Chain A
Amino acid sequence: MGNIIETKNLSKSFHDPVEFQALKNINVSIKQGEFAAIVGSSGSGKSTLLYVLSTLDTDYTGHIFFDGDDLSLKSKNDLAEIRNEKIGFVFQFHYLLPEFTVLENVCLPALKLAKYSEAEIRERAYQKLDLLGLRDQALKKANKLSGGQQQRVAIARALINDPKIIFGDEPTGNLDSKNSENVFEIFKELKEKYNQSIVVVTHDMSFAERTDRIITLSDGEVVSQ
């Protein structure tokens, strides 16, 4: 099995307000179809790593290979296309367009990709919402949903384009144990049935322990993987 993502001596520093190295010489690789958890104490650099891996943050040194390609050689537009087609992202804080309906929010990445017709996109969006138990909320405005519901809409949105890899920054942070369990099952199924890779930052050790692999960060360094 090939690596969907691989880093070589990946480092990142913040310069403002003071020089601070948030990621130190990180060498990790995630295989296609792998379900990995990233753990570590608060401030250890988990979110920072996820942003860099998901191509959003390009201010780093070292190399990231995505699907074999060196991301540092890609243009901003290329990266946007990769994010749209191959990467799904669930943020630590749910991020939806508040004035749009749940359904519209889920459809947004697919409308950009424009691989399917509008009707098919809507059909697929309903499927994903079904998966997360939100079908009945589809036509509500996103800002009328509870925090946990919004988090699940964000997950559905991350799934809509069948990405090769899904990054989640505490995707179950706002969820009760039942919904959290559901999300875990969904991720597991995506990996098993569709060979999608999942990388999830979590503080929930019982969640982490049931994934294929745990990557532990401490002060910006990978201490075990």
Chain B
Amino acid sequence: MIQKTPVIRIALTHLLAKKRQTIVAMLGVTFGIAIFIFQAGLMSGFQAYFIDETVNTTANIRIYNEAEKNRKSILAKRDTASSKWIVVQNQKPKDELNKVKNGYQIIAALEKDSRVSGVSPFLGSQAIFKVGIAQIAGRVSGVDIIKENILFDVSKNMRQGDITKLQTIPNGIILGDGLADLLGAKMHDNISITSPLGVTLEMKIVGINHSGLTEVDKSRAYINIRNAQKLLKVDGSYITDINIKLKDFNQAEELAKFYHQKFGFKTVDWKEANASVFSVFKIQNMVTYLIIASILIVSGFGIFNILMMIIYEKMPDIAILKAIGYKDSDIKKIFLTESLIIGVLGGLLGLIIGFLMQKIAGSIRMDIKGFVSMEYLRFNTSPAFYLFAYIFGLVATSIAGYIPARKAAKMDAIDIIRSK
């Protein structure tokens, strides 16, 4: 069959004349892309999961009050104009150090803000959990569970029980599953919690929760905010944090600043709160992509190598084509096409193998308990990711093909013809 564009036909003929080397070069690309899909897919799948679990358990914006370390004495506050020295010895931190004053008024104001989709008050405390003789130190989160659920979808992570019990049963408590395991506690068991101030409350387990974050699940329990206030011996208006969920979490940074100005308390947005995690991800990604890039460079050498071989062997072909009027650019196209054929086919096979590797590795039960707990490895399987890997591979092959192609294009036909 004669083809309209002999370029492709010529390219194919060259490759078919060197079947074994072509296949080796293709497998190089296949290997590179498969590793790409597997490795980077694992990395980004894990990161997405981690972001889901961590970042989504972080409020879009948190309003809190931080202890002023060098609090001015009341005297100094009153007497701002004078240049007198005022020294107050042994100044003690105030009890209501971390209180967000007028917290419930701020919550009411925020609930009217059209950019906000949920607001939840919070009061946390250290606590010792006791079941029989088992004793474990952890933290209790005093929350309004219905509001908390709007922000963090607590009900989704319930292993047992029901979040509404926290409201209906006055001394209800929801334990992290890790914590429950450590205590050997089960649903409906009684449990006592003791605060650092020595207050002890007798509670009843109404739910077991699994957030996926191992550390959190091993140490945290939800209780009603009123009980938290009792533990800390404070009044019913005392809260330390206000967590906010926004309709658009991308506005977090900007609105955090705005609320800081408006209410005068410290604010932190989710990105800032997780800055260390994101910087770890950045380094992880860099290392992953460096590894992948080096694999693809090796695949590139395979392509480079086979093209150089073909070019030296097919010098007479190049000379004839030039002599009958094919331009340098046509010659370049022939060899670029060859590298692209290797890249396209090798890459496709790589995508398939990468996909299978993901499927197989993803179906093995791992029960990873580290940083986050996962039963199975999670991969990024989005089409955009596969497309990205494929394009990455094609770019690498094109670069590897470009150098030999340019060399072929530059060859002097007459030198070749004379040397025959």
Chain B interface residue bracket vs A: 20 to 34
Q: Which residues of A contact B323 (CB under 8 A)?
A: 54, 56, 83, 89, 91, 95
A interface footprint on B94-115 (CB within 8 Å = 1, 0 otherwise): 0000000000000000000000
Contact between chains at A118 and B2 (CB < 8 Å): yes
Q: What's the least CB distance linking B328 to chain A, in Å?
A: 6
Contact between chains at B317 and A97 (CB < 8 Å): yes
Question: A56-B417, A95-B320, A97-B317 known; A112 and B325 CB under 8 Å?
Answer: yes
A134 vs B226: C-alpha distance when bound (angstroms) = 102
A108 vs B323: C-alpha distance when bound (angstroms) = 11
Contact between chains at A111 and B325 (CB < 8 Å): no
Contact between chains at A83 and B325 (CB < 8 Å): yes
A76 vs B413: C-alpha distance when bound (angstroms) = 12
A157 vs B329: C-alpha distance when bound (angstroms) = 22
Contact between chains at A100 and B417 (CB < 8 Å): no
A103 vs B2: C-alpha distance when bound (angstroms) = 8
Q: Flag whether B420 is at the interface (Cβ < 8 A).
A: yes
Q: Which residues of A contact B3 (CB under 8 A)?
A: 111
Q: Which residues of A contact B360 (CB under 8 A)?
A: none
The dominant DSSP class at the A interface is: helix
Q: Flag whether B322 is at the interface (Cβ < 8 A).
A: yes
Residue of B nearest to A113 (CB): B325
Q: Which residues of B contact A157 (CB under 8 A)?
A: 324
Contact between chains at A107 and B324 (CB < 8 Å): no
Question: A95-B319, A118-B4 known; A112 and B324 CB under 8 Å?
Answer: yes
Q: Which of A96, A97, A118, A157 has the most CB of B within 10 A?
A: A97
A118 vs B330: C-alpha distance when bound (angstroms) = 19
Contact between chains at A104 and B325 (CB < 8 Å): no
A95: which of B10, B329, B417 is its contact (CB, 8 Å)? B417
A121 vs B319: C-alpha distance when bound (angstroms) = 23
A109 vs B325: C-alpha distance when bound (angstroms) = 7
Residue of A nearest to B417 (CB): A91
Q: Flag whether A170 is at the interface (Cβ < 8 A).
A: no
The dominant DSSP class at the B interface is: helix
Contact between chains at B327 and A109 (CB < 8 Å): no
Q: Which residues of B contact A82 (CB under 8 A)?
A: 325
Q: Flag whether A146 is at the interface (Cβ < 8 A).
A: no
Q: Flag whether A122 is at the interface (Cβ < 8 A).
A: yes
Q: Flag whether B321 is at the interface (Cβ < 8 A).
A: yes
A51 vs B413: C-alpha distance when bound (angstroms) = 10
A16 vs B174: C-alpha distance when bound (angstroms) = 91
Q: Flag whether A194 is at the interface (Cβ < 8 A).
A: no
Q: Flag whether B316 is at the interface (Cβ < 8 A).
A: yes
Residue of A nearest to B17 (CB): A99
A122: which of B2, B316, B322, B330 is its contact (CB, 8 Å)? B2
Interface hits, A43-70 → B, CB 8 Å? 47, 51, 54, 56-57
A interface footprint on B349-365 (CB within 8 Å = 1, 0 otherwise): 00000000000000000
A interface footprint on B1-26 (CB within 8 Å = 1, 0 otherwise): 01111100110010011000000000
Q: Flag whether A223 is at the interface (Cβ < 8 A).
A: no
Contact between chains at A112 and B13 (CB < 8 Å): no
A51: which of B10, B16, B329, B417 is its contact (CB, 8 Å)? B417
Q: Which residues of A contact B319 (CB under 8 A)?
A: 95
A109 vs B322: C-alpha distance when bound (angstroms) = 10
Q: What's the least CB distance linking A57 to chain B, in Å?
A: 5
Contact between chains at B2 and A107 (CB < 8 Å): yes
Q: Which residues of B contact A185 (CB under 8 A)?
A: none
Q: Flag whether A34 is at the interface (Cβ < 8 A).
A: no
A85 vs B326: C-alpha distance when bound (angstroms) = 11
In the complex, 5 of the A-B residue pairs with CB atoms within 8 angstroms, ordered by the A residue number, are: A51-B414, A80-B326, A95-B319, A96-B320, A104-B2
Extra contacts, 14 of them, besides A56-B414, A80-B327, A112-B324 (Cβ < 8 A), are A56-B322, A56-B323, A76-B328, A77-B327, A77-B328, A80-B326, A81-B327, A95-B320, A95-B420, A97-B317, A97-B320, A99-B17, A103-B2, A104-B9
**Which residues of A line the B interface, CB within 8 A?**
47, 51, 54, 56-57, 76-77, 80-85, 89, 91, 93, 95-97, 99-100, 103-104, 107-109, 111-114, 118, 121-122, 157
